Structure 1
Amino acid sequence: MKGFVVSGTGSGVGKTSVTTGLLSLLSKGRKVQAFKAGPDFIDPMYHTAATGRPARNLDSFMLDDDTIRNVVGYASKDADLCVVEGVRGLYEGFAGDGDVGSTAYVAKLLGFPVVLVVDAGSLTRSAAAIINGFRSFDPEVKIAGVILNKVSGRQHSDKLDVAMETYCKGVKVLGKIPKDRENTLGQRHLGLQTLHSFEQKEIEPLERLADPVDLDMLMGIAEECTADLPDSSPYVRRRSGLKAAVPMDDAYSFYYRENIECLEASGIEVRTFRPADGEHLPDADMAYLGGGYPELYADRISSNRDFLDGLENMCAEGKPILGECGGLMTLCSSMTDKSGKEYRMSGVFDAKAEFVDKRHGPTYVLAEAKGNNPLFSGPMRGHEYHYSEVLAHEDAEFCFDIRRGLGIRDGKDGLVRNNAVGTYMHQHALSCDDWAKGFVESAR
């Protein structure tokens, strides 16, 4: 398998803008499969828009080594090239003294070379020092090339050439990208746009940004990779004949691709709909509500009574429902946005969701499913991100004990009623043996 990893010396060096531009350029005439290291929903949306193929996440905290290799092989078996965008800096991971959860860990596991994006703004010799430090830190990580970003002009470019030739012999400089505030994603977009909002005009500026990168040299690095990865299906397969209602629009867009495919592998027909645009809840045996930005569309969601009342009816009938983060808030009785305006929600749970100024996360979660959990059992791994808090009734019942993370309150997560579960935790279906089993059994 041909492939490489795009990493950075830290957050904010422009690797998502550069990676997305490269993905779009490389996809002209090639089938490119993109991946994102770490627990991230936004960047894979850009990757998906750039390549026309669903991007995947690779997280060495949530997934074991064999599963990561299998995910890459399975998703890429008809692709010409794999491109993995890293998370934060190359060596940042779960802990300060290990590389689990880091981009470096994923690169070594897959046997992929690394292309390092360096913010060279105001740097010359120091850029060489940074690159050499990254090269020597872990000899098992192959840094095969660098992209120098935010180069301010001809004089700066010439000095970088001299510094690289003098101090970084053997390092391929794949391109020097001029300082460019216009053709970047910018923080104004990250976290405010979702897959369904994208148009080609959002990708074209990133192509222009990445245009200085030598694609032939980049492909030469990729072709040196000879990774042999398993490509069999990683899912438990069954024939259930069931249907799942899954909202997918600008309000609900945070889903791991594998979670949807896991349901489908169990013979569950996934019926998507757009409740923020007024579409009704489809006839289904279960519902899975992912995260996203329901607070930005709270007025529309609140007015879609077929959707919200339908969820309450499903719960009353004992049909399985899972709500993650934004989905959890939708299952509450009300949602209050940052301006203090309260909107009626489904009322599956006797709880209020309120947005707050403080932020928690993203944080990895270790949880234990309790005996009253209708969908899951045993230890669970996931991640959470809080811009809100859920104020549940003091007698509320919870079905997760939190070993690491925040949850809803007092080390508890997973509001439960009948076969409905609402949690702040985002789960990855392949972090456990048979993620869909509880849905199928509860529906039956």
Structure 2
Amino acid sequence: MEPISRLVLAAPHSGAGKTTVALALIRALREKGLKVQAFKVGPDYVDPSHLEAASGRKVYNLDGFFLDGEGLLSLFQHGARGADLALVEGVMGLFDGKDSLGKEGSTAQVAKLLRAPVVLVVDASAMAGSIAPLAEGFRRFDPGVWVAGVFANRVASATHTALLQEALSHVGLPLLGWLPQDPALGIPERHLGLVLAGEVQPPLGALARALHLDHTAFLHVAAEAGPLPQAPPFLPESRPPQVAVAYAWDRAFRFYYPEGLELLQALGAELIPFSPLQDPALPKAQALLLGGGYPELFAEELSQNQPLLEAIRGFPGPIVAECGGYMYLSQGLWVGEGFFPMVGLVPGVARMAEHPVLGYREVEALRDNPVAPKAQAFKGHEFHYARMPPSRSPAWRRVGGQEVEGYTDGRILGSFVHLYLPARPQGARRFLAWAKEGPGSPRGS
């Protein structure tokens, strides 16, 4: 296949400004008439919302824990179709991942798999000459990772830029661009990271105007990425819509992997969005999907929408509720000193805690549920501050351990684990077959 111009934006550590730089680059390149496809390394839902707003294209998660090498290549080629350039925003530091050297679940793993040049985003606010040994150390650490240049963030002045550029010239790395130190260019944060796109408008125009970029050198680095082996199609051959799936989509619920939704559509799902905050009734559907989000920020509004709560209580089909959706299905949600009744299909009350639970998960089903027969394993991820009491009917047990989590009665699956369905498409098939033909369907087993 034709080579895809591509590069990876990485950093020495979290907080260096990868997302801010990515947004500035996407906006500036789009103003030059280029179609930019953005990707995000890792299981993040929040950063992709901003990248999508900037690029005007769906943003896909490239995660080496969820998918093997062939799966990652398939997803990359699926997402990059029709784009002039693929821009991959890394996660945390370049070599931060599931293990101590970043061999799995890291930006470095994805960069090696994609054979893509890496541009290191460095917070230069408190350094000048030290940028050279820093960048050189990252370049030399793993010969399989191709560090091709540097982007400086939070630069104080043109003089500061000249010092950084001169220092990097001594180790043979180009300074491809920089952004000034300006608090107005940042994106607000809260307890799960950045606020979502749509809640605040990132200063895309200001970022593009503030960006200092050597366009020719930058695009040359991206174009140096050679051809990739042709991977198999990421999605199965599309079927016509056969099953209506209502899924929660508003300010309170919007954490879904787009490739997971596309998988459901390819398998014959008609996805119908609805708002738990505003809609008085569910759309006509055979299955219900309640994704993650921020129900704790909208607890009072969710609790006051009694007609919809009643509609969900009476919904007869399979229900899958993840993280925020799991909290919404509980008997209620404590936020501060306030208690807000919720749907009540899941026993127990959700409470917000001070510290998060986060990490990759591999879980196996303790009993049949809408996506898995008993003992089948799935991969996923957790990131939440809420806590639920242990269930008498837990859904999952951690693979290799005894920890149990979630709730299922067979028809309802509630869990803090965000499942990555493309890693085991049988789960999506089971969910849709159950919705269409009932839990006894052979295709739903």
TM-score (norm 1): 0.91
The Cα of 1:98 is off from its aligned counterpart by 4.4
| Residue in 1 that maps onto 2:364 | 368
Find out whether 1:9 has 2:7 as its counterpart.
no
Deviations 1:241-290 (A, max 9, x none): 11011011110011000111111111110000222234532111001111
Alignment of 1:99-178 (within 5 A): 99-165=103-169, 167-169=170-172, 171-178=173-180
Contact 1:67/1:234 (8 A) holds in 2 = no
Aligned partner letter, 2:135: I
CA distance in 2 between counterparts of 1:389 and 1:69 reads 36
Q: CA RMSD in A?
A: 2.0
Q: Which runs of 5+ in 1 are unaligned?
A: none
Aligned partner letter, 1:70: S
Find out whether 1:185 has 2:216 as its counterpart.
no
- The 3-state SS of whatever aligns with 2:299 is helix
Contact 2:369/2:410 (8 A) holds in 1 = no
CA distance in 2 between counterparts of 1:30 and 1:379 reads 41
CA distance in 1 between counterparts of 2:367 and 2:433 reads 15
Aligned partner letter, 1:364: Y
Q: Which runs of 5+ in 2 are unaligned?
A: 438-445
| Residue in 1 that maps onto 2:42 | 38
The Cα of 1:139 is off from its aligned counterpart by 1.1
CA distance in 1 between counterparts of 2:267 and 2:432 reads 8
Find out whether 1:220 has 2:244 as its counterpart.
no
Contact 2:332/2:340 (8 A) holds in 1 = yes
CA distance in 2 between counterparts of 1:417 and 1:188 reads 34
Alignment of 1:231-242 (within 5 A): 232-235=233-236, 237-238=238-239, 241-242=242-243
Aligned partner letter, 1:22: L
The Cα of 1:404 is off from its aligned counterpart by 7.0
CA distance in 2 between counterparts of 1:428 and 1:326 reads 16
Contact 2:37/2:79 (8 A) holds in 1 = yes
| Residue in 2 that maps onto 1:413 | 405
| Residue in 2 that maps onto 1:264 | 265
Deviations 1:209-254 (A, max 9, x none): 4x21222221111111123343624237555611011011110011
CA distance in 1 between counterparts of 2:78 and 2:19 reads 24
Deviations 1:11-68 (A, max 9, x none): 1111110011111221231221110001101110000000111101010011111111
Alignment of 1:194-205 (within 5 A): 194-199=196-201, 202-205=203-206
Deviations 1:300-323 (A, max 9, x none): 111212322222111xx3x11110
Relative to structure 1, the CA distance from residue 197 to residue 390 in structure 2 (aligned partners, 3 Å threshold; closer, same or farther) is: same
Relative to structure 1, the CA distance from residue 274 to residue 205 in structure 2 (aligned partners, 3 Å threshold; closer, same or farther) is: farther
The Cα of 1:422 is off from its aligned counterpart by 0.2
Find out whether 1:341 has 2:338 as its counterpart.
yes
The Cα of 1:186 is off from its aligned counterpart by 4.1
The Cα of 1:102 is off from its aligned counterpart by 0.8
Relative to structure 1, the CA distance from residue 190 to residue 381 in structure 2 (aligned partners, 3 Å threshold; closer, same or farther) is: closer
CA distance in 1 between counterparts of 2:347 and 2:260 reads 27
Find out whether 1:353 has 2:350 as its counterpart.
yes
- The 3-state SS of whatever aligns with 2:427 is coil
Structure 1, 174-183 or 60-69: larger mean CA deviation: 174-183
Aligned partner letter, 1:234: L
Deviations 1:123-179 (A, max 9, x none): 1221101011011001111111111222222442332233222x212x121123221
CA distance in 1 between counterparts of 2:106 and 2:280 reads 40
How many residue pairs get matched?
429
CA distance in 1 between counterparts of 2:191 and 2:176 reads 27
Structure 1, 12-21 or 219-228: larger mean CA deviation: 219-228
CA distance in 2 between counterparts of 1:39 and 1:372 reads 26
The Cα of 1:414 is off from its aligned counterpart by 2.7
Relative to structure 1, the CA distance from residue 357 to residue 134 in structure 2 (aligned partners, 3 Å threshold; closer, same or farther) is: same
CA distance in 1 between counterparts of 2:72 and 2:245 reads 26
Relative to structure 1, the CA distance from residue 384 to residue 190 in structure 2 (aligned partners, 3 Å threshold; closer, same or farther) is: closer
Structure 1, 81-90 or 232-241: larger mean CA deviation: 232-241
CA distance in 2 between counterparts of 1:68 and 1:435 reads 19
CA distance in 2 between counterparts of 1:309 and 1:376 reads 27
| Residue in 1 that maps onto 2:440 | none
The Cα of 1:342 is off from its aligned counterpart by 0.8
Relative to structure 1, the CA distance from residue 179 to residue 301 in structure 2 (aligned partners, 3 Å threshold; closer, same or farther) is: same
| Residue in 2 that maps onto 1:384 | 382
Find out whether 1:328 has 2:321 as its counterpart.
no
| Residue in 2 that maps onto 1:276 | 277
Aligned partner letter, 2:218: L
Contact 1:13/1:119 (8 A) holds in 2 = yes
Relative to structure 1, the CA distance from residue 110 to residue 9 in structure 2 (aligned partners, 3 Å threshold; closer, same or farther) is: same
| Residue in 2 that maps onto 1:440 | 432
Contact 1:74/1:231 (8 A) holds in 2 = no
Find out whether 1:18 has 2:26 as its counterpart.
no
Contact 1:117/1:149 (8 A) holds in 2 = yes
Relative to structure 1, the CA distance from residue 413 to residue 256 in structure 2 (aligned partners, 3 Å threshold; closer, same or farther) is: same
Contact 1:195/1:250 (8 A) holds in 2 = no
CA distance in 1 between counterparts of 2:134 and 2:167 reads 12
Structure 1, 413-422 or 45-54: larger mean CA deviation: 413-422
Aligned partner letter, 2:23: T
Residue identity over aligned pairs, in percent, reads 34
- The 3-state SS of whatever aligns with 1:5 is strand
- The 3-state SS of whatever aligns with 2:105 is coil
Relative to structure 1, the CA distance from residue 207 to residue 190 in structure 2 (aligned partners, 3 Å threshold; closer, same or farther) is: farther
TM-score (norm 2): 0.91
- The 3-state SS of whatever aligns with 1:388 is strand
Deviations 1:311-359 (A, max 9, x none): 2111xx3x1111000000011111111x221111111112111111122
- The 3-state SS of whatever aligns with 1:182 is helix
From 372, 393, 396, the counterpart of 1:400: 396
Aligned partner letter, 2:219: M
CA distance in 1 between counterparts of 2:101 and 2:24 reads 33
Contact 2:242/2:268 (8 A) holds in 1 = yes
| Residue in 2 that maps onto 1:207 | 208
